[in-house]
Amino acid sequence: MRRRLQFTPQARRDFQSILAWYTENSGARAATRAGATIRKRLKALGSGRVRGAEASPKQESPYPPRRRAAAHHHFSGEGRSYPDRSNRSWRPRYRIHPR
């Protein structure tokens, strides 16, 4: 689900003028990309994922904290292992995950 940013009217006007400037000087595609970048940066600030002077402290964020997707490591002892905790079973199995 995409999170919507809450813009104040002033911020919306600023945003429009920035996009207008980009459209005029660099073309519509550049404006679209600039808008996407601005939205991303604002969202990152809002969810407290940015370290910096202007970053709001985490507890004031209107959004729930982002959960990182679990990395699926398959090294020995991590990820899926067999009951005896070794990554060898009675028959050598080269691919632990049947795809």
- Residue 23 pLDDT > 80, yes or no? yes
* Domain edges within the chain: 9-60
Model confidence band, residue 41 (pLDDT cutoffs 50, 70, 90): confident
The tokens describing 10, both together, are 């002033």
Q: What contacts 63, CB < 8 A, 6 or more positions away?
A: 3, 43, 46, 47
Residue 57 to residues 18, 21, 37, 73, 86, Cα–Cα distance (Å): 27, 32, 21, 32, 44
For range 20-29, the mean pLDDT:
91
Which residue is associated with the tokens 């009217």? 9
Model confidence band, residue 77 (pLDDT cutoffs 50, 70, 90): very low
| Phi and psi at residue 18, to the nearest 5° | -60, -45
For range 74-81, the mean pLDDT:
49
Question: What is the residue-averaged pLDDT of the chain?
Answer: 70
pLDDT of residue 78: 47
